């Protein structure tokens, strides 16, 4: 019966890490809601994974969708925020719309999904929230003003939520990915040796470990990088 | 002649630090534009300080105003971003409008004023940009999700701009204020011993030092706190 | 046959985390060498755990012991550095001998065991080194000058080794424990509610996860704290 | 009369920054004690600067010398710790003696001079201690295990002392130099364009600013780098 499986919501279920997380959690017998701006090109056959196209920066849409999921599957046990919109551009050439779009996609989306789901987790008295960060969460970079400001914001948000909600039993973690995830798109873009890239399923394994951490030893932040990465 | 004095623009010229910076720079013989959301309650008699009420989150207003200042006084030599909107509130009680207003006041305002002024600094080949940060720029806090996400964003933005513009001769610094500034308002709010508070004019002195730093030894980040502050 | 089991060396196998790590690795079918300054009060019956009393700050002793272990069990696959000597004392009352003893126990011991074992890991082309850090690895504290300087040093050492050895296939991780581990001794010392303390076996679980991380997604640093801990 | 001038002690008064600090403080009418391992090659004619050759890692020597200075000039108002011993070497080729010598020169020297001088500052109720850090104080590096562990330690020590002594009126600051100081030696070593190097006298200016900071706005940490430096 579906109602017996725990529910996981993945906000940002694109073809790389998002889908790897969906498969991992489905394999661990979660009911998985995979939220994405755009329709996936390839449909998964996995009966535990449910796609939903949604504009995560629209608060009302997120609230409505969450209500439906909770009605159908119960309170979410896992929320993963994994949206990104990579803008790499000289500051003076960046349009106001690019800033807004990046902030909507990366920060407002997180506020919306967390405000919609945390009350259910608090009622259940448990849950795990994981936010995907990047090197740009820790250090600004030339031509990264848009992306880095949004990633920094997300880290400040996550740290604040950890201090607010962890004592109430909700684990809030931030994972810094310092490397390029191996996807069709990134291989074309970076022309990197695949041995130097991160495998999405290996990252998903680390997220799964966070989800399983017992209350006496929770990670708030950890980094992940391929062994050959300079840092 | 006014055109011989260097121009400083202070975005966020409220009664505490903003005005102390305005007086300090006026004293150092700058022409000072003091930008503020609201009309100041007390008018300054200082002929070097020019108030302008402006919505800094409105890009067009900022562009127009900057054009006027540059026409009248020449390219700005100093820009200080000092706006803040302090929201301390449980995450689940924070309205979408409060998030937007905070990010507008603190982050979009910075993007707007820097996009409007940096081209003039680049043409002049020099300039200093200083951003006021806080403890919440480095660490999230319970009930600080709104404020801290904005302050983190501003730090990521500042670091990115430093890496982009410093090699072109524009100094970009971030100052972390770890303490309460002694103002009428903060004394009432915190009930703190004045000896434990920061004097706005002492902070202004540190900003002035940053402005004077020679190109071979620029600070990108420094903290300031009263000697009795725990940290 | 013992030679078929991988070897783990735990430097600092005291009654709390050290022993929990020894049991965890023995359970995962490692041959475990548990190094400690003093004889354990209780002997373990576990045939996979081998105690050795040793002064880790004595380079020759560490080299000799390592040679014996490698002869008997093959190259070590896991090294955990977990020694600590907690000095909490006003700076001006701290004796030169206390600084030296702390540095010997915490930093020289690490240099010695890593210099003795890394060549064997390099030959094998694989291995994991984990260093136990603390809140004092990230922030100094009043009366913590001795302990914190040593913990900072250990973090700088670990980061440097990660950058030097990870590209050669040796995973080097640093774990920040932000909380009190539940032991007989710490319960007496702190008088804390056990629900607010860290369970050594939960921490050991996180170390085990690090050991299992695949090369495409290695953590260099992660924190662990009990859910009710303020930070 | 010499007794009317404030006393500054510079531990590590080599030909680059150390001497620039000595000249700056002498110019500001301090009596300056310049401590160094080796005799300076060129003698200064400045009557306010007094050289003393000393092994700063020898606690008794440092105590004796401090007693003499205080007898002659009164309690020190400024202590600057500026010693360094740069080891850049693969970890496995570094000798135990190199680790010890580096930690003696960089960390024990600091403990010794601070233990000898802080009691006099506490009695006087004021004083400034500045420690020179480096990029390696914040990030480990390949082949930097020795140097970086010592620089991290010094930062942990400085942060701890700041938390212990600032509430008693002693300002404790840490300055991160992220760049190469322009000296005869460094020009030969790095072959860098002088325009990309830091001028020692510009750094000294920033230290002088820290010394002058009023109690309501003390910097605990700041960085300094040349404008063209990548970071």
Q: Does C129 touch chain A (CB under 8 A)?
A: no
Nearest CB among D205, D209, D218 relative to B225 is that of: D218
Task: Take residue C116 and report the two structure tokens written for it.
Answer: 């003795």
d(CA D150, CA C150): 9
- In this prediction, what percent of chain B has a pLDDT beyond 90? 87
Closest CA of chain B from A46, distance in Å: 34
Question: Which of C134, C140, C131, C144 has its CA nearest to residue C102?
Answer: C144
What pLDDT was estimated at residue D142? 98
What pLDDT was estimated at residue C18? 96
| Those residues with Cβ within 8 angstroms of residue D116's Cβ, 6 or more apart along the chain or in another chain | D62, D63, D65, D66
CB contact under 8 A, C213 and A221: no
* Average pLDDT, 10 consecutive residues per value, chain A (231 residues): 80 93 98 91 86 96 97 97 93 96 96 98 97 98 98 98 98 97 86 88 98 98 96 94
CB contact under 8 A, D214 and B199: yes
pLDDT in tens, C23-82: 999 999 999 999 999 887 777 789 999 999 999 999 999 999 999 999 999 999 999 999
Closest CA of chain B from A89, distance in Å: 10
CB contact under 8 A, B231 and D214: no
Which residues on chain B are in Cβ contact (under 8 Å) with A158?
140
What pLDDT was estimated at residue D178? 96
CB contact under 8 A, A217 and C228: no
Q: Does A125 touch chain B (CB under 8 A)?
A: no
Q: Does B217 touch chain D (CB under 8 A)?
A: yes
CB contact under 8 A, B228 and D171: no
Sign of the torsion formed by the C-alpha atoms of D48, D51, D52 and D54 = positive
pLDDT in tens, B29-86: 999 999 999 887 777 789 999 999 999 999 999 999 999 999 999 999 999 999 988 9
Closest CA of chain B from A60, distance in Å: 11
Q: Does A111 touch chain B (CB under 8 A)?
A: yes
What pLDDT was estimated at residue B1? 41
Which residues on chain D are in Cβ contact (under 8 Å) with C149?
107, 153-154, 156-157, 160
Q: Does C160 touch chain D (CB under 8 A)?
A: yes
Closest CA of chain B from D164, distance in Å: 10
ipTM for this prediction: 0.96
What pLDDT was estimated at residue A2? 46
Which residues on chain D are in Cβ contact (under 8 Å) with B166?
227-229
Confidence band, pLDDT 50/70/90 cuts, at residue C3 = low
In this prediction, residues D4-25 reach a mean pLDDT of 95
d(CA C7, CA C212): 14
Burial class (CB in 10 A: 0-12, 13-18, 19+), A168: middle
pLDDT in tens, D120-143: 999 999 999 999 999 999 999 999
Asked if the model's pLDDT at residue D41 lies above 90, the reply is no
In this prediction, residues C78-96 reach a mean pLDDT of 95
What pLDDT was estimated at residue B44? 78
Which residues on chain D are in Cβ contact (under 8 Å) with B222?
219, 221-223
> Which runs of E-coded beta strand occur in C26-163?
31-36, 49-53, 76-81, 127-134
How many alpha carbons fall within 13 Å on the CB side of residue D71? 6
Asked if the model's pLDDT at residue D71 lies above 80, the reply is yes
What pLDDT was estimated at residue C1? 41
Cβ neighbour number for residue D61 with a 10 Å cutoff: 16
CB contact under 8 A, C156 and D136: yes
- Asked whether D31 and D5 are in contact (CB, 8 A), the reply is yes
How many alpha carbons fall within 13 Å on the CB side of residue D87? 25
pTM above the 0.95 mark? yes
Q: Does C95 touch chain D (CB under 8 A)?
A: no
Closest CA of chain B from D168, distance in Å: 8
Chains in touch with D (3+ beta-carbon pairs under 8 Å) read B, C
Nearest CA in chain D to B182: D216
Q: Does B166 touch chain D (CB under 8 A)?
A: yes
The CATH classification number of C7-224 equals 3.40.50.720
What pLDDT was estimated at residue A184? 86
In this prediction, residues C211-229 reach a mean pLDDT of 97
Cβ neighbour number for residue B211 with a 10 Å cutoff: 21
Q: Does D81 touch chain C (CB under 8 A)?
A: no
Asked if the model's pLDDT at residue D22 lies above 50, the reply is yes
Chain C interface disruption, residue of D140, D147, D158, D165, most C CBs within 10 A: D140
What pLDDT was estimated at residue D1? 41
Confidence band, pLDDT 50/70/90 cuts, at residue C187 = confident
Burial class (CB in 10 A: 0-12, 13-18, 19+), B131: buried
Confidence band, pLDDT 50/70/90 cuts, at residue D3 = low
Asked if the model's pLDDT at residue D151 lies above 90, the reply is yes
Nearest CB among A169, A209, A216 relative to C199 is that of: A216
Nearest CA in chain D to B203: D217
Chains in touch with A (3+ beta-carbon pairs under 8 Å) read B, C
Alpha helices in C131-180 (DSSP H): 145-165
Q: Does D164 touch chain B (CB under 8 A)?
A: no
Q: Does D143 touch chain C (CB under 8 A)?
A: yes
What pLDDT was estimated at residue A102? 96
Q: Does D62 touch chain C (CB under 8 A)?
A: no
Query: Distances in Å between the alpha carbon of C179 and those of A159, C129, C204, D148?
Result: 17, 22, 14, 26
Chains in touch with B (3+ beta-carbon pairs under 8 Å) read A, D
Question: Which of C106, C168, C95, C172 has its CA nearest to residue C134?
Answer: C106
| Those residues with Cβ within 8 angstroms of residue D8's Cβ, 6 or more apart along the chain or in another chain | D25, D30, D31, D32, D33, D76, D77, D78, D79, D80
Least confident window among C145-149, C160-164, D183-187: D183-187
d(CA B44, CA B50): 9
Q: Which residue has the higher pLDDT, C65 or B15?
A: C65
d(CA B7, CA B126): 12
Chains in touch with C (3+ beta-carbon pairs under 8 Å) read A, D
Asked if the model's pLDDT at residue C84 lies above 90, the reply is no
Question: Which of C69, C14, C67, C22 has its CA nearest to residue C48?
Answer: C22
Average pLDDT, chain C: 94
d(CA B84, CA B147): 9
Asked if the model's pLDDT at residue B2 lies above 50, the reply is no
Q: Does B157 touch chain A (CB under 8 A)?
A: yes
Asked if the model's pLDDT at residue D55 lies above 50, the reply is yes
Sign of the torsion formed by the C-alpha atoms of C73, C74, C75 and C78 = negative
- In this prediction, what percent of chain C has a pLDDT beyond 90? 87
Q: Which residue has the higher pLDDT, D156 or B44?
A: D156
């Amino acid at each position: 019966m579906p109602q017996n499986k725990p529910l996981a919501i993945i906000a940002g279920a694109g073809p790389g890490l998002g889908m790897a997380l969906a498969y991992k959690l489905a394999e661990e017998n979660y009911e998985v809601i995979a939220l994405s701006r755009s329709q996936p090109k390839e449909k998964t056959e996995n009966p535990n994974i449910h796609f939903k196209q949604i504009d995560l920066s629209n608060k009302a849409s997120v609230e409505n969708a969450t209500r439906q999921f909770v009605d159908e599957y119960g309170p979410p046990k896992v929320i993963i925020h994994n949206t990104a919109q990579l803008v790499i551009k000289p500051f003076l050439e960046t349009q106001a719309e690019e800033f807004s779009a990046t902030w909507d996609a990366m920060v407002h989306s997180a506020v919306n999904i967390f405000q919609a789901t945390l009350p259910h987790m608090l009622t259940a008295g448990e849950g795990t929230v994981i936010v995907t960060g990047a090197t740009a969460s820790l250090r600004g970079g030339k031509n990264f003003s848009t992306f880095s400001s949004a990633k920094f914001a997300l880290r400040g948000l996550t740290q604040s939520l950890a201090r607010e909600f962890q004592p109430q039993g909700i684990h809030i973690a931030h994972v810094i990915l310092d490397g390029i995830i191996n996807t069709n798109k990134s291989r074309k873009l970076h022309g990197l040796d695949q041995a130097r890239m991160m495998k999405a399923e290996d990252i998903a394994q680390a997220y799964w470990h966070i989800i399983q951490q017992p209350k006496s030893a929770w990670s708030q932040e950890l980094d992940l990088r391929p062994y050959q990465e300079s840092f």
